Structures are given as structure tokens and as C-alpha cells.
Amino acid sequence: MQLLRQASALAVASILVIACGDSSSTTTDSDSAGTDSTTEGGDSETAGEDGRKYYDGAESIALGASGNQVSCATCHSDDGTQAGHSGNTFMDIAYHESFKGNGADLLTAVNACVTGWMGGTALAESDDAFVGLKSFMESISSVDATTPNVVAPEVLDDELAYEAAYGGGDAAAGADAYATSCAICHDNALMVGAVAAYPKASLMGYTTGRIAQKVRTSGPPPSGALDMADSTPGPMPFFEVKDVSEADLANIIAHLQGG
Ligand code: HEC
Ligand code: HEC
């Protein structure tokens, strides 16, 4: 519901952004220059709250292709929650030494999502949206959290290997896991960039390998193109084991196959 409301606010919001520019920054600056200026955190938290709209507001959705309905918040939590989210939580993310994509910096990582999943145009470092996102992330991050993220989507050899890894799940338990990780897109035909998520009913006839490889790599069913280059070809994001456990994925598959 909320996502749909955000999406219909999109047209209005983007007109406002163009027409008004960022008129809020003057007010905010004078606010934070006042009473709170004793701690460094005061300023950056204010700026961070200003930047939040690029994480979960219409301004975030507007970073994607025309018709896009997802924001960063569709895939990334801001409170440390990992389950059910394909992307890493933004809590404690700002000061990592490197980001997904072997040493990428924050701008490169953000742009991979803006262009790759959301179908939008890459941001420049000085764009309000990137400045806002960065200060929002900093406001919820500890400078001591610097561990880089290693992305390792799992790719198995063939249908038999997927069947061995993900066959025999519990369909009843899978209903809950599906609701946590998949329903937000597949029950709402949500537009990810320029592509709508297929309705749940159309996922139900697929083999175990086809569903599991899609979830783990975003890629096509076992096809011979089994390398990292094939890991993000679709607008659907991929879920690593930390995002959807092996048991949860087996259960989701049993649920989809109507077991
Ligand atoms: C459709 C889902 C999706 C959307 C929308 C999305 N991301 Fe991501 N993002 C991912 C996935 C999947 C990854 C890679 C997996 C991971 O984070 O471990 C990722 C990775 C990242 C990373 C690197 C994380 C790390 O620890 O290396 C950053 C930073 C990031 N995204 C920022 C953003 C921002 C900012 C937005 C909104 C403008 C956004 N993402 C929108 C799915 C998404
Ligand atoms: C952020 C939105 C989003 C989430 C969350 C999501 N999907 Fe998808 N999914 C898509 C989109 C968009 C497509 C169609 C485009 C594509 O193939 O990437 C798709 C396609 C698929 C397909 C079709 C693959 C094929 O070979 O035709 C399967 C199967 C699937 N999703 C399963 C899942 C499962 C299971 C989950 C939960 C673990 C899930 N999806 C979570 C957006 C999403």
C-alpha cells in the first residue's frame, strides 16, 4: 500500500523538485547552526535526516527509470535487519573500506544500484541525491565499522545440483519466508526499473534450479553461462545466504511449487 502511494506521489514530487530546487537546505542550516552546534554529530544527523528522502521517499524512487517503483529501502534496511533484504543494511555501511564489486567506492556501489536495478542515470559525486545519501548513511554508521563486503553469489552446476541443495523443503514454512523476502515485489507486480516483477502465479511452474538460480544470482536458469559475469543480468536483485538462508529458500521453492 505504502509503496503504491509513494509511486503515485512520484509525478507530483518530481515536478516539485524541479520547480523548487532544494529550498529546505537554508532553513536546516540555520537550525543546526543554533543550539546543537557543540557536537559534530548534531550537524551530520540533521544533514542525514535531510538525506533520508533519497533512501525511502519519492525522491529515491525518482532516481530510477520512468515507471520505477522501488527505492533503496525496498532492498536495504536502515536498522541492521538483513533477513528479507537482498542488499546489505545501510546501518554502519558508510565507512567500509570498499564495497561490492571488488574495491568499488561508495559512489560506484550506489550507482551500480541506481543504474543496474533501478534503471536510472548514474549520479555525480556532487549531486544532491548522492550528497544526501552519503550523509544519511554516515548518520547511522559508526566510523569503526570498516569491514569490506565480499559478494559471492552461489552458482551450482546443473538442475540436479540445485535439486540436491534445495529440494524437499517445507511448503507451509515457505509461505512465511516468501512473504518476508519475495511478496513485496511479486504480489504487487512492482516495477523494478522498467520491468514489472512477474505475478506469483507465473513463478509456480518453475523447476527448483530455475527458481534457486534466479534468487541466488539474479540470472537465468542453468544455461551454461555460469560465471560471475552472469550474476546480475535481470532487474531482480540476488539474495545471498545471509539474506535468505538455504532452508528458507528450499521452503520458498516448495511453497511456490504448491507442495
Ligand atoms: C532492487 C534491489 C536494490 C535496490 C532498489 C537498491 N539496491 Fe543497493 N544493492 C542491492 C544488492 C542485491 C546489492 C549487493 C549485495 C549486498 O549488498 O551484499 C546492493 C549493494 C549496494 C551497496 C554496496 C553494499 C556493500 O556492502 O558493499 C550500496 C552502497 C548500495 N547498494 C546502495 C544503494 C542505494 C543508495 C540505493 C538507492 C538509490 C540502492 N542501493 C538501491 C540491491 C538493491
Ligand atoms: C525487488 C523486487 C523483487 C524481489 C524482492 C524478488 N523478485 Fe523475483 N523478480 C523480480 C523481477 C523484476 C523479475 C523479472 C525480471 C527478471 O527476470 O529479473 C523477477 C523474476 C523472478 C523469477 C523468474 C525467473 C525466470 O527465469 O523467468 C523468479 C523465479 C523469481 N523472480 C523468484 C523470486 C523469489 C523466490 C523471490 C524471493 C526470495 C524474489 N523473486 C524476490 C523482482 C523481485
Give residue 35's pLDDT. 39
Give residue 101's pLDDT. 64
Give residue 1's pLDDT. 35
Domain range for 86 is 2-19+44-139
Residue 135 and residue 165 share a domain: no
Set of cell numbers at residue 236: 531482480
Which of 152, 149, 159, 150 is closest to 213 using CA atoms?
159
Spell out, as residue ranges, where the chain has pLDDT lower than 70: 1-45, 101-103, 219-233, 259
Give residue 47's pLDDT. 72
Calculate the alpha carbon distances from 53 to 26, 153, 171 in Å.
17, 30, 38
Residue 90 and residue 15 share a domain: yes
User: Is residue 35, in this structure, part of any structural domain at all?
Assistant: no
Question: Are the CB atoms for 243 and 149 separated by under 8 Å?
Answer: no
Give residue 103's pLDDT. 65
- How many whole angstroms from 75 Cα to the centroid of ligand 1? 7
Give residue 102's pLDDT. 62
User: Is residue 212, in this structure, part of any structural domain at all?
Assistant: yes
C-alpha to C-alpha distance for 129 and 186, rounded to whole angstroms: 28
Domain count for the chain: 2
Calculate the alpha carbon distances from 59 to 17, 63, 104, 197 in Å.
8, 7, 24, 21
Set of cell numbers at residue 233: 543480468
Give residue 166's pLDDT. 96
C-beta contacts of 106-115 below 8 A and 24+ residues apart = 106/134, 106/137, 113/72, 113/75, 113/87, 114/63, 114/64
Sign for the CA dihedral angle at 62, 92, 87, 175 comes to: negative
Give residue 179's pLDDT. 96
C-alpha to C-alpha distance for 168 and 221, rounded to whole angstroms: 19
Residue 100 and residue 13 share a domain: yes
Ligand 1 pocket: which of 3, 59, 70, 88 to mutate (most atoms within 8 A of CB): 88
- How many whole angstroms from 22 Cα to the centroid of ligand 1? 25
Looking at the CA of 78, which ligand is closest? 1
